[in-house]
Chain A
Amino acid sequence: MSDFPHTPPRYSATFTPAVNAEIRRAAASGIYDIRGGGTKRHLPHFDDLLFLGASISRYPLEGYREKCATDVWLGTRFAKKPIHLDIPVTIAGMSFGALSGPAKEALGRGASEAGTSTTTGDGGMTEEERGHSKTLVYQYLPSRYGMNPDDLRRADAIEVVVGQGAKPGGGGMLLGQKISDRVANMRNLPKGIDQRSACRHPDWTGPDDLEIKIHELREITDWEKPIYVKVGGARPYYDTALAVKAGADVVVVDGMQGGTAATQDVFIEHVGMPILACIPQAVKALQDLGMHRKVQLIVSGGIRSGADVAKAMALGADAVAIGTAALIALGDNDPKLEAEYQKLQTTADAYDDWHEGKDPAGITTQDPELFKRFDPVLGGRRLKNYLKVMTLEAQTIARACGKNHLHNLEPEDLCSLTIEAAAMAGVPLAGTSWIPGRNGGY
């Protein structure tokens, strides 16, 4: 034995233990990894932006005395009955099937109490969510599961879903464990199959057809309902412009941090763009068309706090949508359930096997025994509290920037912490006037 020190073990930065574990899992199972949620990789995000606050050149507003309004109108372009929400934080589309009936009820309760809207998903409209949602957006999806003209007419708005941030270009997936009798009946499918939703709409192709499709939906609903078009964050400039051209009242852009009920991990992690890169492009498309604020922009994907809300709005969004954060507010991934997560070979705050239908919190399941654990009244109260906190946080920041309405926040209120964020968000690097890719600066 030499007396020299032994070279310590060194892990590869390429073949990390996590990478190796996935290779072994793939080799053993022969099938790609499927999971719920959004991307888990580190991305340039709202954390890479800071607000500058007021100074000599700008007056702040008094935090507890001067008003900072938060309301938002959606669908003012063509709809006879546009939506007016008290707060600009909406609940994103999540399907009955992916979520339990009581979870959908809780989303409706919480959103309604906080003065905002909730959204159906790839499973049709349930009585739980219609009954408990003051303002309900009805998704018009490629699968058309549960689609019918009566629900179109009793919705408050219609969202034509072209794509979503977790999987731009991909269709939905609901595995057999969650296809209960009720879900199967709503989707006209055999019970227990692994259901694949279409990735393209069955009866239109491209922007010219979309314009005719939107026109049909307006005719069926007598031009009353706002019509949103939702796209995954892939080519936000062109997608936003084409949605406007097709006649959308509202464009929804979902970045790759946006969640899904179940999709291939490779899709979630490697397709799409972060929301930070999407917002400026979508806003520019609206501005270039003279439609900013006339066609409203909702952005989603990784919104967690009032700071994120304020930053998204400062970049030009009219409102935001939350999905994953809303589930966490309801009680998803709570460390109180750690013992049960351990039984599922996972841990709280990392549980993402939503497709298996074994959620200990009773939210992403169709197992009646599991969803009995979830109290929709309490869940709704928790969501309302969370939405109120986000709103107060956003107001706090807006007042500090001298704004009497969240919509008055602007890119000039921001600086970037990283060169990447500066380039993507079009906001100068802190302490400089430099925006990479643009001329000038110091």
Chain B
Amino acid sequence: MQSFDLGKEGLRALNSALHGLKGQTNMTDWEVINPKGAHAIAAGVDAPVDITVRGSTGYYCAGMNKQATIRIKGSAGPGVAENMMSGTVIIDGNASQYAGATGRGGLLVIKGNASSRCGVSMKGIDIVVHGSIGHMSAFMAQSGNLVVLGDAGDALGDSLYEARLFVRGSVKSLGADCIEKEMRPEHYALLEDLLKRGEADGKAKPEEFKRYGSARKLYNFNIDNAAAY
């Protein structure tokens, strides 16, 4: 394992080394110590490597990740795994606001709670939150899946498009154009897979969840919907 002391060597040296891992490499295990809440740790990685950050991270850890598996052995600041393309990000603690924002692929697992705007504008990412999520989560979410084992805050899924939201606990309120939808067999199968990949299969069962999605009433302008905008 390659151990990198962020406190001594600095962020630029870390990201430069990680960006240098083009294509295939046999240096696949990395450990980052002394992260001390630094921003943009392991942002822009594009290699099938395994990176463990021992501590909590600042903004945008694993931003735009491709291929890598990034484990945060602490909590993550705002925008963790923003615009992730592929790979996996697993957070042992909590995640601040905008977790997984605009993510296009890959899997984000948050073992604690996530703050507001979790999955905002998500575009294909899968997010599994073992705890609860804050207000305005999945705002304008376009595609992908958001699984929440706990509760959701106000205005869940406001103005969302085709993303699928699964919540086991309570939902404080639904946002504009977001409605509860029927759980069909394919959704149970999907959830079972997501719970397994999200390391939550022992914690919850698919049949305990409700599904939320777009009513598709705001997809085209209509004056009769003016009050919803």
Contact = CB atoms under 8 A, between A and B. Distances in A.
Contact of A202 (B11, B39, B64, B102): B102
Contacts of B16: 222
A120 to B, nearest CB: 16
A190 interface: yes
B175 interface: no
Given A190-B162, A202-B117, A219-B11, A212 B59 contact: yes
B5 to A, nearest CB: 18
Q: Is the interface of B mostly helix, strand, loop or mixed?
A: loop
A29 B222 CA distance: 10
B59 A194 contact: no
Contacts of A345: none
A216 B104 contact: no
Contacts of B219: 190, 193-194
Given A144-B102, A220-B64, A203 B78 contact: yes
A189 B161 contact: yes
**Interface of chain A: mostly helix, strand, loop or mixed:** loop
Contacts of A192: 220
A192 B224 CA distance: 19
Contacts of B210: none
A17 B85 CA distance: 54
Nearest to B142: A188
B98 A188 contact: no
By CB atoms of chain A within 10 A, which of B15, B16, B143 has the most? B15
A188 B121 CA distance: 10
Contact of B40 (A29, A198, A219): A219
B64 A188 contact: no
A147 interface: yes
Interface residues of B, number: 41
B213 interface: no
Contact of A144 (B66, B83, B143): B83
A199 to B, nearest CB: 11
Given A189-B161, A190-B219, A203-B78, A149 B39 contact: no
B19 interface: yes
B122 to A, nearest CB: 9
Contacts of A13: none
B218 to A, nearest CB: 9
A149 B142 contact: no
A203 B120 CA distance: 8
B221 A194 contact: yes
A143 interface: yes
Contact of A149 (B15, B85, B123): B85
- Which among A152, A187, A203, A204 has the greatest number of chain B C-beta atoms within 10 A? A203
A96 B209 CA distance: 40
Nearest to A29: B223
Contacts of A221: 44
A215 B102 contact: no
A186 to B, nearest CB: 11
B59 A147 contact: no
A203 B221 contact: no
Interface of A: 29-31, 143-144, 147-149, 152, 175-176, 187-190, 192-194, 196, 198, 202-204, 209, 212-213, 215-216, 219-223
Given A203-B79, A216-B39, A220-B64, 9 more contacts: A30-B223, A148-B104, A187-B142, A188-B124, A192-B220, A202-B102, A209-B59, A220-B15, A222-B16
Identify the 10 closest CB pairs spanning chains A and B, nearest first. A220-B44, A30-B223, A203-B98, A203-B79, A203-B101, A144-B102, A193-B219, A149-B64, A188-B123, A216-B60
28 contacts: A29-B223, A30-B223, A31-B221, A31-B223, A144-B83, A147-B83, A148-B83, A149-B85, A152-B64, A187-B142, A188-B124, A188-B143, A190-B161, A198-B121, A198-B140, A202-B98, A202-B140, A203-B78, A203-B102, A203-B120, A204-B98, A209-B59, A212-B40, A216-B59, A219-B11, A219-B43, A220-B64, A221-B44
Interface of B: 11-12, 15-16, 19, 39-40, 43-44, 46, 58-60, 63-64, 66, 78-79, 82-83, 85, 98, 101-102, 104, 117, 120-121, 123-124, 139-140, 142-143, 159, 161-162, 219-221, 223
